[in-house]
Structure 1
Amino acid sequence: MEQVLYKKVYSVSAFYPILFNGLRTVRFMQRAKKDGMLDDPFIERIMLAVTEVNGCEICSYGHTKMALEVGMDEEEIKKLLTGDTSELPLEQVPAIVFAQHYADTRGVPSEEAWEKIVAYYGEAKALGILGAIRMIMVGNAYGIALSAFRSRLKGKPIVKGNLFGEEKMRLSYELTMILSLIVYLPVALIQMIVANIMKAPIIQFK
């Protein structure tokens, strides 16, 4: 079984909340890592699982390299990139399943799924897991467009299937998504500061 790439394509407007959420919760991942609740292999398993759902080519390559560097074996990485979770440490399975669910719902998970993660890991670790998921969601949403643009430069534009047949990914989409970060990043940082001051909810549900 091979990994399927470009499974999800995020619109430019959908990228903004993904970026905002990633910026808002990255500190929880960093804190959980510093406090020994999350180690590098656990974080890489989360990121590979989310990348498998979204199908980002650049992220797949980058996080495969990082996973190998933190001691994961090649067979486990291949399985994660095809959706096979059979080789996971049992304690990490709920987090990986939630990560897949989060990506599959495009960042709007069910409240029940989140409550189970908090009950299983405790709030601090659960928020660290959420931070890792959201950071790779940022990477995937942006990286899919970047990967497609890179393929275009090589003379191989990405073709996506839909209900009406096949359609080439548009150059205008790729460029707009890539350039959107210039505008989105400072605005999202300001919104993050305001949201933290106002103590806005960290997660929203479908």
Structure 2
Amino acid sequence: MTKKVSLSESVIQRNEFKRKFSSWELYRSFVFAPRAMSKLIRNNKTKLVDNHFVERLQLAVTEVNGCAACSYQHTQMALKQGMSNEEIGSFLSGGSDFTKPEEAKAIMFAQHFADSRGFPKKYAYDSIVEEYGKKEASIILSACQMMIAGNMYGIPFSAFLSRLQGKPYKDSTLFYELGMLIFGILCLPIAIIHGFLRGLIGFPNEKFDKSST
């Protein structure tokens, strides 16, 4: 039987950032999060996209960004949904052993989404629209948007927890960690209003890198 790892034990397994984000990137991700969450809540009722599939997409995003706290939280959620330790470990290490053929393109999109810091290529999104359908692709994108917002806040949170245990990330500072955490709390209400106004005006809840390179 595998020993359950606590959040405190999880965050100290990393001693440096895999990826680091700015306060502007955090705010921008929060703007897209409310409508993304709304779509995922509706999907929980309609089951248009399987919840296990959504969880695998979010694990793929987390693997690219390297958020220890998010990895811990989504590991617990995935275990409750019935995913095996081996399957979860594969996704969190970037492996493809447990990737279902019919989900492979979406998993690759999730990795690309994270790698592009939340601004995927338009042609990459078009490819999953073609593969899964417009509504399904919108849910896939929403899952990635929610996860990267969580990662951007969870990464400095993980670094701060590790610092409290006497193991600060070697490429971090207390100023950065507290600055991001406090800024995230203060900017969230503004970002929610910003996102709501975008929807009211008719702007889509997405933004792409339309360059061809």
**TM over 0.5, yes or no?**
yes
Match of 1:162 in 2: none
Query: Would you say 1:191 and 2:194 are equivalent positions?
Result: yes
Deviation sequence 1:161-185 (CA, Å, 0-9, x none):
xxxxxxx301111001101122211
1:113 matched to 2:113? The reply is no
Question: How far did 1:19 drift?
Answer: 1.1
Paired position in structure 1 for 2:22: 11
SS in structure 2 of the partner of residue 202 of structure 1: coil
Does the alignment pair 1:25 with 2:28?
A: no
Partner of 2:80: 69
Q: 2:27 is paired with a residue of what secondary structure?
A: helix
Q: Are the counterparts in 2 of residues 4 and 82 from structure 1 also a CA contact under 8 Å?
A: no
Structure 1 length-normalised TM = 0.90
User: Which residue identity lines up with residue 40 of structure 1 in the other structure?
Assistant: N
Determine the structure 1 residue equivalent to 2:5.
none
User: How many Å apart are 1:39 and its aligned residue?
Assistant: 2.4
**1:142 is the counterpart of 2:145:** no
Which digits, 9 at most, give the CA deviation of each residue in 1:29-59, with x for residues without a partner? 2223321112221111011101100000001
The answer to whether the 8 Å contact 1:51/1:140 transfers is yes
Q: CA RMSD in A?
A: 1.7
- 1:6 counterpart SS class: coil
Deviations 1:82-108 (A, max 9, x none): 101231222211111100000000011
Which residue pairs with 1:182 in the alignment? 185
Q: Is the 8 A contact 1:5 1:56 kept in 2?
A: no
TM-score normalised to the size of structure 2?
A: 0.87
SS of residue matched to 1:103:
helix
Instruction: Give aligned-pair identity as a percent.
Output: 42
**Count of aligned residue pairs for this structure pair:** 197
Are positions 1:201 and 2:212 aligned together? no
Give the whole-Å Cα distance in 1 for the aligned partners of 2:17 and 2:114: 13
Task: Look up the equivalent residue of 2:194 and give its one-letter code.
Answer: Q
Give the match for residue 172 of structure 1.
175
Gaps of 5+ in 2: 1-12
Question: Which of 112, 115, 121 in structure 2 is aligned with 1:104?
Answer: 115
Q: Deviating runs (4+, > 6 A) in structure 1?
A: 2-5
Structure 1 runs not aligned, ≥5 long:
160-167
